[in-house]
Amino acid sequence: RNLYQETPLGYQSLDENGCFKEVNDAWLRIMGYERDEVIGRSFAEFITPEYKEQFKMNFPLFKELGETTVEFQMLKKDGGRIFVKFDGRIGHDHFGHFRQTHCIMDDISERKRYEGALQRTNKKLQLLSSITRHDINNQLTVLQGYATLMRDESDRKMREDCLHHIDSASNRIRAQIDFTRLYDRLGADSPIWHNVSELLTAMDDSDILDDRCSGLEIFADPMVKMVFENLLDNTWRHGK
């Protein structure tokens, strides 16, 4: 018992009904409660609603198997939420009957935040990879189309016009490839406010856009410019 009380990790013990029998000082410090606010109450009262059903299903299995490793989101006294991992075993009396649980609690909130950030970054990478492939394929179609026209065209002015379009498509492909070098920074920078009119103006070199977005701003990843470029390119290419 002294070992549990002195450990820097949180410790809790539940009775057969899932109510608190013991908690150590570290548990109280992490959760922000006084001991008399905890003992005798159900563990389910201290977890978020999303995890109550999980506890209801897990606890009987824990008692049956004799040990468990499980994660819950818990509610602190101040209303804050933390993710915790429990490693537990069942204590028995000398007749082999259930006596109480012994569980060590580890605050894994920071790890969960990193995992969430990693998942969001992976989703952005998948989206950008798809957009980049699409854009490069579009420009290759343009390049090949004008190359075909140029082979069949004898008029010098028309050939120069084809060369201009080929050069433009090549430069856009190069820009897309260069942009992939920035992928390693995806998610590294916090979202910022973007002026939509400025984004559109920077991408419209034909002055055909009817900009009605004056004063409109969006809060997004700094790489949102690429999404706008793809949308505009598709509109120009396929719009009627």
Identify whether the C-beta of residue 62 lies closer than 8 Å to the C-beta of residue 87. Answer: no
- pLDDT score of 106: 92
Residue 66 or 224, more confident = 66
pLDDT for residue 74: 96
Buried b (16+ CB within 10 A) or exposed e, 191-220: eeebebbebbeeeeeeeeeeeebeeeeeee
Q: Across 45-186, where does the E strand assignment appear?
A: 67-75, 81-92, 98-107
Q: Give the mean pLDDT of 65-81.
A: 95
Q: 87: helix, coil or strand?
A: strand
Q: What is the mean pLDDT of residues 21-33?
A: 95
- Going by pLDDT thresholds of 50, 70 and 90, the confidence category of residue 185 is low
Residues 80-90: what's their mean pLDDT?
95
Reported as a single tens digit per residue, the pLDDT across 127-144 is: 777 878 888 888 888 888
**Higher pLDDT, residue 6 or 28:** 28
The answer to whether residue 5 scores a pLDDT higher than 80 is no
